[in-house]
Structure 1
């Protein structure tokens, strides 16, 4: 998490520097070096994962108000009073991690974390905070309130999990008899009206002909996702053979999705463990019998999830990184 601290007085600046010693981040005093409150907030709201105002809540609220857009994209915002008595998360408490940050700040300076989100106030399971801790993407954030609302009302909430979840199931949660009955689901393949939490664990293995365009790769990827009912948000990285490392279409395709892409030699790909779909043609061209499956597995350090899929000269495969979710939803 990238953090940015803003203080308004010498006392506040000293506290900000103390906090940054344990929770690293940039430290600025408003008014110094011609930096205004509006300018600092505008820049840091885009650049940082968390903004910490050392001062009054009202100042922070007015500063961030023009920039707030969505609970899925807004950074965490926490306010700490100059005396270090209270740490108050005021934006993105769960998905952005402001509640966890307030707890961490409080632990450093002896403050009281003032958590006002309903689930925290009542001490019940927070599905969005749990999703963040499990490295999951929340596909339908507007459905979070449906799950939380049931728990707050004392009603049972049913879940579906396509992965084993360790630990004690939180109070109020029960496994769903059928996917249709689930209020939320931990899955790579979302269906129905549940709140879907998609683990960010996928590596996309890619093979393609020379000079394949980004548009062709994009269309093939859409077909790949549609074939399996797979959520594209699960993909976090891509991999291929080093022969493709200068392919502009491939590089542009990965850049559009924000995926780092890694390239492996034929010898490295041959060392990937597992059984793969062989191709004599691919072997003759690249020196290895399969590119997409082997690249995905090698980069993920996990198992092949979807085997080779071919479309218009493009091949895709998906492997998943090791994933071990548990039922804890707050940092210890």
Structure 2
């Protein structure tokens, strides 16, 4: 039990109404108070009288003005008494305690705050909803409508509604029609957006109405709510979200999600099969774009584009709309719909104001290698603007295609396109290479389009045909010159560098260079029975580092037939998204054991080894790093031959 300090004022949140929703700390402090001042118009008397001492002074403050309230509290505190100032909900939300705290500081009276249950969260509990639903809405805004108390600039309801977040609107039920008008003017909510108004939540006479922005005002008027009511507007109120086909799953408890207390035990159910390269949107199966509109004219354009591009149109649900081919309907916020469709990783054509489009995708943007193409169009299709994935997701090309259909203009803003230079990030995809995440991609691209001096180094271990393809793509760039070694880039004469190598690069060079990682390396692995994927991955990382090689250039794993079904090895391949090539025993037995490092497999299984011979056979090229032994496994690394597909009995 907390011990109250004499001469102190405690601001206590009493919760939304129910006497048993006050916190234990709040109740204990009221029990020790000599003076209890409570907001009797909003706080149930039982919440106070049940906890207060029989001889305490308990006063309601609804009929008092600020000077009277402050005089009572300051006088009591100066006499060494404990004062409990009890507010509804949580004192930090429209509790009017700021001015009270300022007056106490001026008077030299100490104070403390005890939080309470806010009505927004009590309302969500009463309605049985979560205000933050994965892939739908992840932001909650607590606000109010402008009335006798004006709202600061940028905090008008229409400004906040543009985010498409969950809105909890206090002190505004008497202006419900104005609230609805402002929310619809924000552009992110449609008339079908779910809404609720909860009246005197957790009080004995609590009630609520459910509806949409189209009808919630009429329902509030019919219910007669004029005070003590909270307005909730959020796509999370959609009752169909709990149906299996619409259910969103939290990452926190997903079996594929690793955090500090638990390691992943399975791959995501939506994950694609392992490939040689991390998937990018353009590497997915060819699927038409998703066209999302807000207005009627925009809906017509969305259907036209969906038909021409073999995609889908998602249109706001309106009374009287007839279903048509390729057209689907959504209810609620367009921002929430964009977020739902984002998960499909197909190109998005957003026929809406650019501001709404940006707000919709901004929380979703992660890495350019994974983000889908996003285009923004006006409802006439006069201007087609690639917002995301200009090069990496082919949004620039799609914009040109869309503009040809609408008769509009593709507004391509990437500098390299304007100058006719190759896009360095897209070039990696065209070559089937990766970009090292530690490299200075943005810096190098900026220096490249600014015509600054760029040094190019191509590792001689890269197959000639691939090296020539890179040179061909970069030919004609006058500010680019090939250098003999990457160390030359340390010279200040070079503003940046472009390096293609499977090897590690010095930090000083990496800091100013774009590093391409061709998938040239095959790791042969032999392991003990029951070896864990974590131990194997750690061994792999160490072996690559010691050999001066980058794990980002890993093309495949290889092992012997007898190790093919080891769970740890299979999980490692899944985690690295690399194919696991299984070498049949008869292939290994054809090799000369003297060619490889001595191995226990020679005596136990009659094989020349596992790690080294499997790496060499799968790669078709020379051994770069001989077998390195670890507690649970052995690792060897070989270089892929340019004419070898590297595909054994996978």
- In which range does the TM-score fall when normalised by the shorter chain? 0.7 to 0.9
Instruction: State the number of aligned residues.
Output: 316
Question: How far apart are the structure 1 equivalents of 2:305 and 2:362?
Answer: 25
Worse-superposed segment, 141-150 or 226-235: 141-150
The corresponding residue for 2:500 is 186
Question: How far apart are the structure 2 equivalents of 1:104 and 1:202?
Answer: 38
Cα gap change, 1:219 to 1:70, in 2 (>3 Å): closer
Contact 1:86 1:114 (8 Å CA) reproduced: yes
Contact 1:56 1:79 (8 Å CA) reproduced: yes
Cα gap change, 1:222 to 1:151, in 2 (>3 Å): closer
Question: How far apart are the structure 2 equivalents of 1:102 and 1:208?
Answer: 50
Shift of 1:174: 0.2
Give the alignment's Cα RMSD to 1 decimal.
3.4
Instruction: Report the TM-score, using the length of structure 2 for normalisation.
Output: 0.43
Secondary structure, counterpart of 1:296 in structure 2: helix
* 1:45 is aligned to 2:363: no
Q: Which has the larger radius of gyration?
A: 2
Cα gap change, 1:278 to 1:112, in 2 (>3 Å): farther
Secondary structure, counterpart of 2:309 in structure 1: helix
Secondary structure, counterpart of 1:42 in structure 2: helix
Worse-superposed segment, 190-199 or 290-299: 290-299
Contact 1:293 1:304 (8 Å CA) reproduced: no
Question: How far apart are the structure 2 equivalents of 1:43 and 1:304?
Answer: 48
Cα gap change, 1:54 to 1:65, in 2 (>3 Å): closer
Shift of 1:47: 3.9
* 1:198 is aligned to 2:517: yes
* 1:310 is aligned to 2:595: no
1:30-71 deviations in Å (ceiling 9; x for gaps): 3435466444432443442x4221524624323212211333
The corresponding residue for 1:213 is 532
Shift of 1:145: 3.2
The corresponding residue for 1:70 is 367
Cα gap change, 1:34 to 1:152, in 2 (>3 Å): closer
The corresponding residue for 2:419 is 122
Cα gap change, 1:105 to 1:249, in 2 (>3 Å): same
The corresponding residue for 1:95 is 392
Name whichever structure is richer in strand by fraction. 1
The corresponding residue for 2:308 is 18
Contact 2:377 2:383 (8 Å CA) reproduced: yes
Shift of 1:15: 1.8
Shift of 1:80: 5.6
Question: How far apart are the structure 2 equivalents of 1:262 and 1:111?
Answer: 50
The corresponding residue for 1:225 is 544
Secondary structure, counterpart of 1:30 in structure 2: strand
Shift of 1:202: 3.2
Query: Highest relative contact order (Cα 8 Å, sep 6+), 1 or 2?
Result: 1
Cα gap change, 1:266 to 1:128, in 2 (>3 Å): same
Instruction: Report the TM-score, using the length of structure 1 for normalisation.
Output: 0.79
Secondary structure, counterpart of 1:303 in structure 2: coil
Worse-superposed segment, 163-172 or 184-193: 163-172
Question: How far apart are the structure 2 equivalents of 1:124 and 1:39?
Answer: 37
Counterpart among 582, 587, 597 of residue 263 in structure 1:
582
Question: How far apart are the structure 2 equivalents of 1:255 and 1:106?
Answer: 40
Cα gap change, 1:212 to 1:88, in 2 (>3 Å): same
Cα gap change, 1:264 to 1:305, in 2 (>3 Å): closer
Cα gap change, 1:176 to 1:284, in 2 (>3 Å): same
Question: How far apart are the structure 2 equivalents of 1:278 and 1:140?
Answer: 34
Shift of 1:224: 0.5
Worse-superposed segment, 102-111 or 238-247: 102-111
Question: How far apart are the structure 2 equivalents of 1:272 and 1:133?
Answer: 37
Shift of 1:208: 1.2
Cα gap change, 1:111 to 1:52, in 2 (>3 Å): farther
Q: Could you list the runs of 5+ residues in structure 1 that have no partner in the other structure?
A: 21-25, 325-332
Q: Could you list the runs of 5+ residues in structure 2 that have no partner in the other structure?
A: 1-281, 294-298, 317-327, 490-496, 644-650
Question: How far apart are the structure 1 equivalents of 2:591 and 2:432?
Answer: 26
Secondary structure, counterpart of 2:367 in structure 1: coil
